[in-house]
Amino acid sequence: MKMKQQSSLLILSWVFLIAIPGSLAWADDLLTGHPRPSYEDVEDIDAMATALQKSLASRNSYSFSRGWWGWDRLRCRYVDGGRKSGNELKILAAVFRGLILDWHAKLEAKDEGDLMFIFYTTTSGDKVKRKLEGDDRILRRDYHGGGYHGGWGGAARMRIYEELAARGVLSDDEKVRFKKIVFQSLEKRFINFEAKAQTAYNSSYGNGGGVALAIRLFPDAPQAKQAQAWLDRIWKDFSNFGDWTEWNYYPYGPIFLHGMLDIAEATGRIESDRELIKSVGGRCLEFLHGGGVRGNPNSGVRMRKSYESVYADPWNYGYYDVEQSARDGHFWYRMAQHFEDREFLWAAEQVTLGGRTARGNASDEYWSAYKKRFGWFSERDILPEIPRGTASIGLLSPAKQKIHERIFLRPGRLPGDPTAAFFLYDKKDRHLDNDSGHLYEYIAHGAKLLHSSGKYNNVYSGTDLRGGGVGEESLDLLLVMHQRHQFPIHPDRKGDERDFMRRGSIKSLAAFSRAENNDAEDSFGQYAFQDYYGPGSRWIRRSVLTREGILVVADHYVGGEGLGEDYVAGPVWHLAVSEKSGESSDAIKIVEQKENWFDAPAFAHAWWQGEKVRVLLRIHQDGPLKFGRVRQRHSQDLDPNITCFAWRPITRGKEARFLSVFLPYLSDDNPSALSAAIKTDVTPSGEWIAQLRGIKIRIEKDGQWSVVRAK
């Protein structure tokens, strides 16, 4: 490598360290690792602030959207710490001056000062370059501003300005310069408030917070009335429905949810619409449990390989290894503050640190991190409290529309309690495609045993698949295909018109939805879809989750007249790839097998689960049923998995029934012996029966169910 190339790489590495909030790769260097876990031991904070300001101002670009979220948490840490740390305030001032005031001065020197904008823009162009109407100059993303997503950091910028101004840090000239930047950023040449998003989702709410705070602080700003009308429109869309309908939780969920709080705080709705905001928080709270691992519809949730960074800097690192991991925990932190709610604080602890053991134990590093992150609550004697929650139907728009969105099966939300969750919502929306009806989470004993949902998993742009996803066989559900295709891989994922596809055609039947517990803390859930692969077709799935974590899934399918005699169907499940499997996804190769059982490790374990948990899947053999597995491509944020499946011919108008049994076990057990000990039956009268480990689980066609344990 040439010396010039080496120098460029060193400079790039140095810039990267100061660009990523929360980086811990710092020692005594003035410029690396910002924002740091602490600034109290810095010998010369003025030298550090000066160096940081100059460094940031001299960069060629930076993220106007995501890049400010870490600085805003530093502001929150300073404020919630009682505003005692003068060092933190000096760092905030350095960042604001370097990335806003000095940046604008730098552009002014190039006669481009009037091109800088700190909110979002609706100008025409692509993600990289946009053009102002009547101006030949080009707006460069992350240089002049942040493009359409640039407003995601707008609320953070405005809050930091408000704090610095209130503390008397900024000079009159600096405040004049910032006002100039705000005013030009709100001009119609940058933003047409009648264009782009007019409804409630991540872009509008991510952008809206900064605009809302700007017109509160500068009510005479250009387009203040138009901006207020736009904010009213997107809030009305949210409040009329009583919710929002974008389900890709990481990273888009926290973008919307933080935007909801940003707009509410700036417009006074945090009080006037208190019940609406709390109801949305309560619905999102249902997604969480004490399992220490997690699944979401249409977004993978990987675990970290270690938690050193989390414990060292819990303000800037979250428990899950996802994009902007600290954002989720900070949303719950803000909710817990606004409502002084112990359950919201519990949620914040779960996603920030992973939650404690069943006995409430944790390591010294864990407790130290908790003290750093949640000191504001400890000072006020607000302690986390585990929410009540057993089997239930999760409702979208719980206060108004009461749409059946999910089925939760669980005995409770204590650490180690088993959980299974299914997604019901049948309307395609942003960042969600065709997930309806699939099991998106199965967790027991602090281990993630099933989870097939990844970002852009089975998401289409027109007729083309996006991202790293695969087709309809990429989800844990019942699959129906024409027999000319080799089950479960559809050769034409662009949509073979000769086959019935699920996308946009199925209807959730709310009347069939059920979720309940018995006195022994076992759970039962049921749901159904109409027009499931063809008009008139119906799929009903019934499941029992025992208190021990055994999951039994009974599928009942009747194909409509349009299916004819040429279709096959069967359950499709995705198990984690065994370390010794040798299976490759380079070339999709279906492997048929005689055995009706599969064995796999867990996808992930909670930090407190020291034992290796595995899962055994056994599918009831009814004679014609065939079995197989295939390693496919997977979405970019999802761990590798093996598609395990069973299939047989179906006949239109006739019942087809399938039974799948999942048994969690410790890795020392013999899976072959475990499988042989499982007894299953699908009776002609309409019962699904599974017997294992002294437990008999029965599911009947009319929805009756029972779990009987040997005495």
Please report the pLDDT score of residue 464 as a whole number: 66
Check if the beta carbon of residue 211 is closer than 8 Å to that of residue 154: yes
Average pLDDT over the chain reads 91
pLDDT in tens, 481-498: 999 889 998 766 565 566
Lowest mean pLDDT among 350-354, 400-404, 458-462, 572-576: 458-462
Mean pLDDT of the region 78-95: 98
Q: What is the model's pTM?
A: 0.93
The number of residues making up the chain comes to 711
Mean pLDDT of the region 380-385: 98
Cα dist from 150 to 6, 146, 154, 396, whole Å = 32, 3, 7, 29
Domain limits of the chain?
A: 3-281, 286-386, 392-677
Mean pLDDT of the region 472-476: 87
Q: In what order do the strands lie in the sheet with 679-682?
A: 679-682, 687-692, 695-700, 705-709
Please report the pLDDT score of residue 24 as a whole number: 41
pLDDT in tens, 138-183: 999 999 999 888 899 999 999 999 999 999 999 999 999 999 999 9
Dihedral sign, Cα of residue 665, residue 571, residue 284, residue 407 = negative
What's the Rg (C-alpha) of the chain? 27
Calpha distance 437→422 (Å, rounded): 6
**Element of type H or E holding 215:** helix 202-217
Mean pLDDT of the region 517-527: 98
pLDDT in tens, 209-236: 999 999 999 999 999 999 999 999 999 9
Q: Which long-range contacts (CB under 8 A, 24 or more apart) does 463-467 make?
A: 463/494, 463/495, 464/494, 465/493, 465/494, 467/635, 467/636
Residue 464's nearest CA partner among 495, 435, 442 is: 495
Cα dist from 600 to 475, 581, 597, whole Å = 17, 9, 10
pLDDT band at residue 16, thresholds of 50, 70 and 90? very low
Please report the pLDDT score of residue 638 as a whole number: 83
Residue 392's nearest CA partner among 301, 307, 270, 517 is: 517
Calpha distance 184→121 (Å, rounded): 12
pLDDT band at residue 126, thresholds of 50, 70 and 90? confident
**Phi, psi angles (nearest 5°) of residue 705:** -155, 160
Query: For 300, which DSSP code?
Result: -
Calpha distance 111→90 (Å, rounded): 30
pLDDT band at residue 501, thresholds of 50, 70 and 90? confident
Q: Residue 670 burial (CB < 10 Å; 0-12/13-18/19+)?
A: exposed
Please report the pLDDT score of residue 6 as a whole number: 36
Calpha distance 599→38 (Å, rounded): 46
Mean pLDDT of the region 38-63: 96
**Phi, psi angles (nearest 5°) of residue 144:** -85, -25
Please report the pLDDT score of residue 458 as a whole number: 65
Class for the domain spanning 392-677: mainly beta
Check if the beta carbon of residue 418 is closer than 8 Å to that of residue 544: no
Q: In what order do the strands lie in the sheet with 567-576?
A: 477-482, 567-576, 641-650, 626-631, 591-593
Structure-block tokens of residue 7 = 């120098």
pLDDT band at residue 19, thresholds of 50, 70 and 90? very low
Check if the beta carbon of residue 479 is closer than 8 Å to that of residue 465: no
Calpha distance 199→256 (Å, rounded): 12
* Count of helices and strands (H, E) across the chain: 18, 28
**Element of type H or E holding 600:** strand 597-601
For the beta carbon of residue 8, count every other beta carbon within 10 angstroms.
Answer: 11
**Element of type H or E holding 311:** helix 308-312
Lowest mean pLDDT among 27-41, 46-60, 85-99, 250-264: 27-41
Cα dist from 169 to 41, 48, 56, 165, 693, whole Å = 22, 17, 19, 6, 68
pLDDT in tens, 249-302: 777 789 999 999 999 999 999 999 999 999 999 999 999 999 999 999 888 899
What residues have CB less than 8 Å from 181, skipping those under 6 apart? 100, 104, 116, 118
- Which residue's entry shows tokens 């900070």? 330
Calpha distance 575→197 (Å, rounded): 39
Lowest mean pLDDT among 22-36, 308-322, 548-562, 630-644: 22-36
Residue 200's nearest CA partner among 149, 240, 169, 166 is: 240
Pairing mode, strands 551-558 and 538-545: antiparallel
**Phi, psi angles (nearest 5°) of residue 143:** -130, -55
Lowest mean pLDDT among 187-201, 357-371, 431-445: 431-445
Best mean pLDDT range from 198-202, 346-350, 427-431: 346-350
pLDDT in tens, 608-656: 999 999 999 999 999 899 999 999 878 777 888 999 999 999 999 999 9
Q: Residue 370 burial (CB < 10 Å; 0-12/13-18/19+)?
A: buried
Percent of the chain with pLDDT over 70: 90
**Residue 87 pLDDT greater than 50, yes or no:** yes
Structure-block tokens of residue 356 = 């404690």
Calpha distance 656→90 (Å, rounded): 68
**Element of type H or E holding 527:** strand 523-530
pLDDT in tens, 532-588: 999 999 999 999 999 999 999 999 999 999 888 889 999 999 999 986 655 555 557
Please report the pLDDT score of residue 473 as a whole number: 85
What residues have CB less than 8 Å from 475, skipping those under 6 apart? 434, 435, 438, 452, 453, 457, 458, 572, 574
Calpha distance 550→661 (Å, rounded): 7
